[in-house]
Structure 1
Amino acid sequence: MKTFARLIRRYVLATAAVVLVAAALCLGAVAYIGLHYGNVEQDRTGIETLAGALTQTAGGLQLDPARTPEEWLQGYAWAMVLDDNGEVLWQYDLPDELNKCYTASEIASFSRWYLEDWPVLCWTEEYGLLVAAAPKGTLWKYNICSSQAMMADLAAGILPALAVLLAAVLGCCLLFGRRGARQLQAIAAGLEAVAAGRTVCLPTDGFAGELADAVNRTSEQLRRRNEIIARRDDARTAWVAGVSHDVRTPLAMILGWAEQLEHDTALPDTARRRAAGIRAQSEKLRTLIEDLNLTSKLQYGAQPLRCRPVQAGPLLRSIAAEFCDSPLADHCTVTPELTPDADKAEINVDAALLTRALENLLNNAARHNPGPVQVAITATRRGRMLEIAVADDGAGYPPAVLNALQTGANTPHILGLYVVEQIARAHGGTAQFAQNDPHGARATVTVPLCGQ
């Protein structure tokens, strides 16, 4: 919303600046026009200069011989001098139809306006009235009269009038800008609500009505989509939980019977080995069901995270010891390798979930390497995190599996490793999978240290 407020302020200030610039440009244009067209005659002989160039001689009026008549009359089409009776005393290039006697009313008329469409200028000297005409169509000549009091009032009130006009413009800008700001702020609040997952219904009147309507429609679409996703997720969670519950009881019976058959000395060795295989595959199925339940809970936030300060060394050694006591450790050697600072480090984790993640990594190393394999559990402090690595010297990850792990694809045959990644992410850490050097697989899990 602060962004919209700044936008409105900039809009108002920009509008005021445009008004001031427009006013300045208008004044500048008037000044330019006045100076440009007012100075058109600067290079021509003025009427006063022309009048001074005429002198009375015994032969009548004559122009000063210092210049030619054309130079004296530069800018004028013709000129004449009238006496007190309106008779022409002297003329230069005067049209024949104008070479006549003029009455007082005619002189008064053309001195203010035009003489037969000729714009003329007049100048009074002792010898008479000098009349000089500019070419037709070059001079606009009209007298404008006004009250002196009105002109004085106009001059005195022009600045206050401009101030009032500017204040009115700014007031309008502020009024409309404030109304627009309120509407935009309402839309901004609506967008924040939509981003937070809430449903909004904004008023659709005003200049921002289309935008408000678009926000309303977007909110409604997101609400419907979230309802569909929630129903789908609930159905998925219920299905996983139901299947797990229905499979758990017969699976426990299969495991029990297989174990009994495996240890029944009355059976042939072949039958006992087959019973051992049934038990091993059933244990894999039980682990898969547990992983499926756990990944579903972690994905939808149904798995509580009970983080407590735990010393890293004893926890990792106990995990390694429990794995060594399991049947999977028959052809697998596990060695904890902890640096002194990592051994004494306290990590803020859910011990049961972290144990499950590391057990999945150890089980993965034991099950997917047919021959004897060496597994090392290492721990190193990395700033505010503890880095736990499980590395083996076996065959390593298949390329397809490694690609799925690195791209985040969730496939059934890497469900256990996907659970590892989810557990690390739930703790605010990461899980990375790569090939070990020179051979084998390496999984690295980072978890936060206490107080970080």
Structure 2
Amino acid sequence: MFKHIRFFFRRYMVLIMLSIVVLFILNLYLGYAVAVHPVTGNLKESPGAIIEKVSGGLLKSESGTPELSEEGKTLLAESGAWAILIDNAASNIIWSDHAPPEIPSHFTPTDIAGFSRYYLKDYPVFTWENPNGLLVLGFPKDSYMRLGDKYYSIPVLQKTITQALPLMLALNLLVIMVIYIISGTLMMRPVKNIVAGLEALSRDRPVKLKEKGAFSELFASINQTSAILSEKNEALKKKDSARANWIAGVSHDIRTPLSIILGYAEGLKTRDDTETRQAGETISHQTLRIRSLVNDLNLASKLEYEMQPLCLESIDVMECLRQVISDTLNNGLPEQYTIDFVYSDGCGGCLVKGDDRLFERALVNLIQNSIRHNPDGCDILVKLEKRGEKLELLISDNGIGAGPEKLKQIRNATHYIQNEQENAVQNHGLGLFIVKKVVGVMAEKITFESQKNKYFSVKMVLPVLLTAQEKDANLPREE
């Protein structure tokens, strides 16, 4: 696998290097295109053609001195050039036309060799062999630049460079962008497939990547991993379904012996013997507790494996709370416990969406948690407030609470919370798990707060659908 990945990156680096070479050759060509094409500027003809014509018009006069024809003079004037003729024997100037004053009248062979290739007193000059000597054609300073036998008009060259430089930069940027897009596409295409495959795996979705290219073995490994995970997930689903069905079956089968035990316990409670009557009450209480735990276990199992059908409808939260609190008080609340129900204006008749029966069960569990886990008693507060289009429901107690570790476990739990301490009270176990599952469907937010030996509170935010009055207003009138 790693060999294919190394090959992919090696191919990518080769592509980058070739692109750099292409870019270099392109810039070299553009520079060469300027270098091999001399820029004449305002000249109608090249300096070579001009000096050749001037040389042809430079003839000896009757007096024996060289004299330039009118055509040659016109050509020099139009070109803005000057000219001198150097004697071959003595290397002295024997003729000149508009020569600058700083041009010497005598030259050494070294001087002649120097300016024949470069400059004469900073004047760009060109030479031509004439029958009467060496003809030198010069131009004003800073007018032309000479490189070997090439010549360039400096103003025109500056203008050309000024205009060509942004074009070259733009062309370079365009080439770089094309290289980046091509190389990025070649690089990102397989990487995108890998990322998409890994994301699908993280979301527990099947993956089927095309097994081709440099990453073919990696794609095959991802496909194989997806197939293995799918098989395991299918096996887990079957196992979970079997577990949930087994729990449901046991829960159903245990009801009959529990009912029998409860019946005998009720009979013992009617005996005249005090000890027997107390034993009957104890058996009855514990039997009811076992039945409640079995029911909670069965419900928690169905909720955990999403086998409990939800009947979502409009729930009057205020009415539901009153019913739960009333039932708790009527069932005989021990004197060491108190329940205080507080609500703000506007809460009455507010409807939320949820399963009425399960929501009531969740509220019962929250109140029973406060009772069950505070044997020495506590004050229970049920508070309902309307804030805008939301209801905030708080159920709290001032009992033993929960420590930071237990609170973290409650907040993060996705299944039944087990107490690992032997013979300890199962604080906030199935009850809170059921609450999180049930309220999580209908609540926008549910939070748990607690401090050891001070308080434990559960707060849920429920989005309001509409009020009961609004619901009645929307009902069709009877004729």
Q: Same fold (TM over 0.5)?
A: yes
Give the one of 25, 28, 31 matched to 1:29.
31
Shift of 1:129: 8.2
- Rounded to whole Å, the distance in 1 between the matches of 2:240 and 2:311 is 24
Q: Which amino acid aligns with 1:396?
A: G
User: Residue in 2 aligned with 1:257?
Assistant: 264
- Rounded to whole Å, the distance in 1 between the matches of 2:290 and 2:28 is 87
User: Residue in 1 aligned with 2:301?
Assistant: 296
Q: Which amino acid aligns with 1:425?
A: G
User: Residue in 2 aligned with 1:216?
Assistant: 223
Percent of aligned pairs with the same residue?
Answer: 28
8 A Cα contact 1:396 1:441, kept in partner: yes
Q: Which amino acid aligns with 2:223?
A: N
- Rounded to whole Å, the distance in 2 between the matches of 1:226 and 1:28 is 64
8 A Cα contact 1:386 1:448, kept in partner: yes
User: Residue in 2 aligned with 1:62?
Assistant: 91
- Rounded to whole Å, the distance in 2 between the matches of 1:212 and 1:437 is 52
Shift of 1:288: 1.7
Q: Which amino acid aligns with 1:441?
A: F
User: Residue in 1 aligned with 2:355?
Assistant: 350
Q: Does 1:446 align with 2:446?
A: no
Give the one of 269, 273, 281 matched to 2:278.
273
* Secondary structure in 2 matching 1:395: coil
Shift of 1:71: 5.6
Pick closer, same or farther for the CA change 1:193–1:418 going to 2, 3 Å. Answer: closer
* Secondary structure in 1 matching 2:285: helix
8 A Cα contact 1:386 1:447, kept in partner: yes
* Secondary structure in 2 matching 1:304: coil
Shift of 1:218: 3.5
8 A Cα contact 2:343 2:383, kept in partner: yes
In the TM superposition, 1:98-113 aligns within 5 A as none
User: Residue in 2 aligned with 1:114?
Assistant: none
- Rounded to whole Å, the distance in 2 between the matches of 1:282 and 1:390 is 28
8 A Cα contact 2:87 2:133, kept in partner: no
- Rounded to whole Å, the distance in 2 between the matches of 1:361 and 1:192 is 38
Q: Which amino acid aligns with 1:375?
A: I
Shift of 1:32: 6.5
Pick closer, same or farther for the CA change 1:443–1:191 going to 2, 3 Å. Answer: closer
User: Residue in 2 aligned with 1:368?
Assistant: 373
Shift of 1:357: 0.6
Shift of 1:312: 2.0
Give the one of 313, 319, 324 matched to 2:324.
319
8 A Cα contact 2:91 2:106, kept in partner: no
Deviations 1:325-382 (A, max 9, x none): 2144554332322212112211112111111111011111222223443322211123
User: Residue in 1 aligned with 2:101?
Assistant: none
- Rounded to whole Å, the distance in 1 between the matches of 2:92 and 2:447 is 109
- Rounded to whole Å, the distance in 1 between the matches of 2:392 and 2:181 is 59
Q: Does 1:236 align with 2:243?
A: yes
Give the one of 111, 114, 131 matched to 1:72.
111
Deviations 1:114-140 (A, max 9, x none): xxxxxxx9843123689xxxxxxxx99
Q: How many residues align?
A: 347
Shift of 1:304: 1.4
Deviations 1:270-300 (A, max 9, x none): 3322332222222222222212111221122
Deviations 1:356-411 (A, max 9, x none): 11101111122222344332221112344322212223333356543422343742
- Rounded to whole Å, the distance in 2 between the matches of 1:390 and 1:416 is 14
Structure 1 residue ranges without an equivalent (≥5)? 1-13, 37-45, 79-120, 131-138, 142-169
Moved more, 369-378 or 305-314: 369-378
Give the one of 248, 252, 258 matched to 2:255.
248
Moved more, 247-256 or 23-32: 23-32
- Rounded to whole Å, the distance in 2 between the matches of 1:257 and 1:437 is 41
User: Residue in 2 aligned with 1:359?
Assistant: 364
Pick closer, same or farther for the CA change 1:24–1:233 going to 2, 3 Å. Answer: same
User: Residue in 2 aligned with 1:393?
Assistant: 398
Q: Does 1:309 align with 2:341?
A: no
> If the length of structure 1 is used for normalisation, what is the TM-score?
0.62
Moved more, 238-247 or 414-423: 238-247
Q: Which amino acid aligns with 1:241?
A: A
Moved more, 355-364 or 276-285: 276-285
Give the one of 378, 382, 385 matched to 2:383.
378
- Rounded to whole Å, the distance in 2 between the matches of 1:176 and 1:442 is 58
C-alpha RMSD over aligned residues: 4.7
8 A Cα contact 2:91 2:108, kept in partner: no
8 A Cα contact 1:342 1:386, kept in partner: yes
* Secondary structure in 1 matching 2:402: coil
* Secondary structure in 2 matching 1:62: coil
Shift of 1:239: 3.0
* Secondary structure in 2 matching 1:341: coil
Pick closer, same or farther for the CA change 1:425–1:248 going to 2, 3 Å. Answer: same
Pick closer, same or farther for the CA change 1:195–1:376 going to 2, 3 Å. Answer: closer
- Rounded to whole Å, the distance in 2 between the matches of 1:233 and 1:306 is 23
Shift of 1:186: 8.1
Give the one of 420, 441, 446 matched to 1:426.
441
Pick closer, same or farther for the CA change 1:401–1:282 going to 2, 3 Å. Answer: farther
Structure having the higher helix fraction is 1
Pick closer, same or farther for the CA change 1:251–1:63 going to 2, 3 Å. Answer: farther
Q: Which amino acid aligns with 1:265?
A: R
Moved more, 185-194 or 23-32: 185-194
8 A Cα contact 1:377 1:390, kept in partner: yes
